[in-house]
Amino acid sequence: MGKNLAEKILQKHSPEEIKKPGQIIPCRVSLVLANDITAPLAVDSFRKMQAPRVFDADKIALVCDHFTPNKDIASAEQVQKVRRFAREMNITHYYEGGNVGVEHALLPELGLVGPGDVVVGADSHTCTYGGLGAFATGMGSTDIAAAMALGETWFKVPETIRVNMNGSLDEFTTSKDLILNLIGRIKVDGALYRALEFAGDTLPELDAEARMTMANMAIEAGGKAGLFPVDQVTLDYCREHGRLGDHLLEPDGQAGYCMQVDMQVSGMPPQIACPHLPDNVTGVDDLEEIKVDQVVLGSCTNGRISDLRQAAHILKDRKVNKNVRFIVLPATPKIYAQALEEGLLEIFLKAGGIIGPPTCGPCLGGHMGILASGETCLATTNRNFKGRMGSLESKVYLGSPYVAASTAVAGRIIHPARV
Amino acid sequence: MHFKGKAHKVGDHIDTDAIIPARCLVTTDPQELGRNCMAGLEENWVSRINKGDILLGGKNFGCGSSREHAPIAILGAGIPVVVAHSFARIFYRNGFNMGLVLLEVGDEISRLSDGDELEIKALEGKIINHTTGDTVNSLPVPEFMADILAKGGLINYVREKVA
């Protein structure tokens, strides 16, 4: 029996032979990650473990991106704790000021994650790096503290669901729509305890950023990881971002899967997740009477340069509806600079958008874009749980950057072709 | 690993934002997190809890964020054990790491209701419902998890390894 992607990558990092899903194995890690919400608890746990030092100061990334620039004294003190720890341990990859970006956009951009890596992060969207062929998964702070101390962790080898995507994307349909459609079909617990593995003849149409958008939301189906094979598209992205020596990686021919899902991509309209779960998905055409108060373009799901380009394509020479607050957050300083250079920020400004710094703030109702009672938001983020962005009486719809831009213009959810 | 208390039932897909909203994540103090337990579901939910009470969850309990503040908030509210249809993966790991006992019972969850007086023998996987006279069996706690629980959580487990 051959191995699927999850098994192949885990095997490379484990001294134990992987025989079947369900087996618990020890595993060396390539990188350990935490942010300003989860790192303070990880620091506390690390101290209680009485570990004298981290296993490797070059293989830990501490990214203070959730409440920064700090919103209040309490959050400032949390970051202070992380900063002091980073200095004490000589952590190479500590990011907080002008170098900080949304963690899952920042680390791939810095070449810190890539093909065949095992990455664990105290953030559920760590699975994003599966877009580059890494086995990457979210854990809690204490698991992360253990990995920081030992350089290893344990995994239960997951079963894998194979997702076969075939056909060609329509003009305004993106990878965000594909993953929303999939979550709508298999539901928020459809991949519970399992990995998703993406395949099919649509893959060459999806660039590395589009793949990361899909892998990012594997957790929204309950998935442990969302994995793409490593092809030339991946290798080109990694080389451009300073990684050398990566290799092609494909599942074996006779690999085992617990389930196969077939997706016909051609003709799929833009998809929207309605309140209050990411699996409450329908085509954009069913929702055109939904008025919005706010639109957020950004996050680890869709705050990359390709996302900003798509939104700018719609917003060029148009105005944001006077009843809408349109918030744009480029996910990293590099994306910010690129968007400035390409004139995208000028398009957003002229349209009446608000351009903020790289931060996760609004996505989790942290700061910069909190919703009042009775308000509705369309966001390119990944979660629309009740109260996610503020008041328990607010509503969040999820959609692609194209839909976000067209909705900002119309003041109601609308197909990008009709704005 | 023996618990007795009143059951408080919540629905399916209770997410970590419901268990502890992001606005509460500017502290790591268990008492303060406990005071806001389930604040994303209902303001002041915690006022109904007596120390030792038991939480009943539906499918996919704890889905969403990796925030360990979620099991800490439940423990901080005085709840030592959660019985659910199923748990989200990260929450499941976090729960045991923090010393919160989690029992998975699948469809049997329908035999346990809000307000029931329950007695739980966790390592045997037995949930005795004193209100109905029923006994519900849970899936066994995996050996690895039981080992972590026996050591009082992952911190002690690792402390032995680094010593």
**Shortest Cα distance, chain B CAs vs residue A38, angstroms:** 6
Q: Is the pLDDT assigned to residue A12 strictly greater than 80?
A: yes
Q: Is the pLDDT assigned to residue A273 strictly greater than 90?
A: yes
DSSP-derived secondary structure letter, A217: G
Residue pair B54/B77 in contact (Cβ under 8 Å)? The answer is no
* Residues A231 and A292 reside in one and the same domain: no
Q: Is the pLDDT assigned to residue A116 strictly greater than 80?
A: yes
* Confidence band for B105, pLDDT divided at 50, 70 and 90: very high
Q: Is the pLDDT assigned to residue B163 strictly greater than 80?
A: no
* Residues A218 and A325 reside in one and the same domain: no
Amino acid letter, B97: N
Query: Which candidate, A112, A119, A73, places its Cα nearest to that of A94?
Result: A112
Q: Is residue A415 part of a domain?
A: no
* Residues A259 and A337 reside in one and the same domain: no
Structure tokens at A79: 């970051």
* Confidence band for B146, pLDDT divided at 50, 70 and 90: confident
3-state secondary structure of A163: strand
* Type and span of the H or E element at B151: none
Q: Is residue A418 part of a domain?
A: no
**Shortest Cα distance, chain A CAs vs residue B133, angstroms:** 32
When pLDDT is averaged across residues A89-107 and rounded to a whole number, the result is: 97
The total of structural domains in chain A comes to 2
Select from B18, B28, B90 the Cβ nearest to the Cβ of A386.
B18
How much is the pLDDT for A31? 98
Annotated binding-site ranges of A for [4Fe-4S] cluster: 300, 360, 363
Residue pair A263/A180 in contact (Cβ under 8 Å)? The answer is no
Q: Where a domain ends, among A236, A263, A290?
A: A263
DSSP-derived secondary structure letter, A157: P
Structure tokens at A401: 């950057």
How much is the pLDDT for B162? 82
Residue pair A375/A362 in contact (Cβ under 8 Å)? The answer is no
Q: Where a domain ends, among A193, A228, A263?
A: A263
* Confidence band for A214, pLDDT divided at 50, 70 and 90: very high
CB–CB contact A37 B67 (8 Å): yes
How much is the pLDDT for B154? 92
* Confidence band for B152, pLDDT divided at 50, 70 and 90: confident
Chain B contacts to A (CB-CB under 8 A): 13, 15, 17-18, 21-23, 25-28, 40-41, 43, 59-60, 63-69, 71-72, 86, 88-90, 93-94, 97-98, 142, 144, 153-155, 157-159, 161-163
Residue pair A127/A108 in contact (Cβ under 8 Å)? The answer is no
Q: Is residue A419 part of a domain?
A: no
Query: Which candidate, A119, A92, A124, places its Cα nearest to that of A29?
Result: A119
* Confidence band for A73, pLDDT divided at 50, 70 and 90: very high
* Residues A190 and A305 reside in one and the same domain: no
Q: Kindly list the structural domains of chain B, giving each domain's residue range(s) and its CATH number in brackets, ordered by start.
A: 2-162 (3.20.19.10)
Half-sphere exposure of A93 (CA within 13 A, CB side): 24
When pLDDT is averaged across residues B49-78 and rounded to a whole number, the result is: 98
When pLDDT is averaged across residues A349-374 and rounded to a whole number, the result is: 97
* Residues A179 and A301 reside in one and the same domain: no
CB–CB contact A140 B88 (8 Å): no
How much is the pLDDT for A380? 98
Q: What is the dihedral of CA A239, A240, A242, A248, to 10 degrees?
A: -20
Q: Is residue A302 part of a domain?
A: yes
Question: Percent of chain A beyond pLDDT 70?
Answer: 100
Q: Is residue A416 part of a domain?
A: no
How much is the pLDDT for B50? 97
Handedness of CA B141, B146, B152, B154 (dihedral sign): negative
Residues of A in contact with B157 (CB under 8 A): 146
What ipTM was estimated for this complex?
A: 0.95
Q: What is the CATH number of the domain that holds A175?
A: 3.30.499.10
Q: Is residue A201 part of a domain?
A: yes
Residues of B in contact with A52 (CB under 8 A): 162
* Residues A45 and A177 reside in one and the same domain: yes
3-state secondary structure of A122: strand
Q: Is residue A250 part of a domain?
A: no
Q: DSSP string of A57-77?
A: TTSEEEE--SSTTT-SHHHHH
When pLDDT is averaged across residues A195-219 and rounded to a whole number, the result is: 98
- Structure confidence by residue, pLDDT tens digits, A186-205: 999 999 999 999 999 999 99
Lowest mean pLDDT among A40-49, A113-122, B95-104, B151-160: B151-160
Q: What is the pTM of this model?
A: 0.97
* Residues A359 and A337 reside in one and the same domain: yes
How much is the pLDDT for B141? 86
- Structure confidence by residue, pLDDT tens digits, A324-360: 999 999 999 999 999 999 999 999 999 999 999 999 9
Query: Which candidate, A261, A258, A260, A259, places its Cα nearest to that of A21?
Result: A258
Interface test mutation site (partner B, options A72, A192, A359, max chain B beta carbons within 10 A): A192
Q: Is the pLDDT assigned to residue B147 strictly greater than 90?
A: no
Q: Is the pLDDT assigned to residue B150 strictly greater than 90?
A: no
How much is the pLDDT for A24? 93
* Residues A241 and A333 reside in one and the same domain: no
Structure tokens at A336: 């910010």
Question: Percent of chain A beyond pLDDT 90?
Answer: 99
Half-sphere exposure of A218 (CA within 13 A, CB side): 35
Handedness of CA A327, A333, A337, A338 (dihedral sign): negative
When pLDDT is averaged across residues B8-33 and rounded to a whole number, the result is: 96
How much is the pLDDT for A290? 97
Q: What are the distances in angstroms from CA A380 to CA A159, A328, B106?
A: 29, 10, 34
3-state secondary structure of A155: strand
Q: Is residue A400 part of a domain?
A: yes
* Residues A259 and A275 reside in one and the same domain: no
- Structure confidence by residue, pLDDT tens digits, A15-55: 999 999 999 999 999 999 999 999 999 999 999 999 999 99
Q: How many residues does chain A have?
A: 419
Structure tokens at A170: 């329509």
Q: Is the pLDDT assigned to residue B96 strictly greater than 90?
A: yes
Q: Where a domain ends, among A229, A263, A297?
A: A263
**Angle made by CA atoms B71, A40, A380, in degrees to the nearest 5:** 75
How much is the pLDDT for B129? 98
CB–CB contact B89 A224 (8 Å): yes
* Confidence band for A1, pLDDT divided at 50, 70 and 90: confident
Q: How far is CA B116 from the centre of its chain?
A: 16
Query: Which candidate, A179, A177, A386, places its Cα nearest to that of A285?
Result: A177
Give the integer Cα–Cα distance in Å for A405 and A401. Answer: 6
How much is the pLDDT for A282? 98
Give the integer Cα–Cα distance in Å for A161 and A260. Answer: 6
How much is the pLDDT for A189? 96
Q: Is the pLDDT assigned to residue A134 strictly greater than 90?
A: yes
Average pLDDT, chain A: 97
Structure tokens at A39: 């790192």
Q: What are the distances in angstroms from CA A266 to CA A206, A399, A414?
A: 14, 18, 20
β pairing state of A325-328 and A354-355 = parallel
Question: Domain limits at A37?
Answer: 5-14+24-151+158-245+255-263
Q: How many residues does chain B have?
A: 163
Give the integer Cα–Cα distance in Å for A255 and A263. Answer: 20
* Residues A61 and A198 reside in one and the same domain: yes
Q: Is the pLDDT assigned to residue B160 strictly greater than 90?
A: no
Amino acid letter, B48: R
Structure tokens at B107: 């469809």
Give the integer Cα–Cα distance in Å for B61 and A111. Answer: 35
* Residues A236 and A177 reside in one and the same domain: yes
How much is the pLDDT for A212? 98
* Residues A143 and A204 reside in one and the same domain: yes
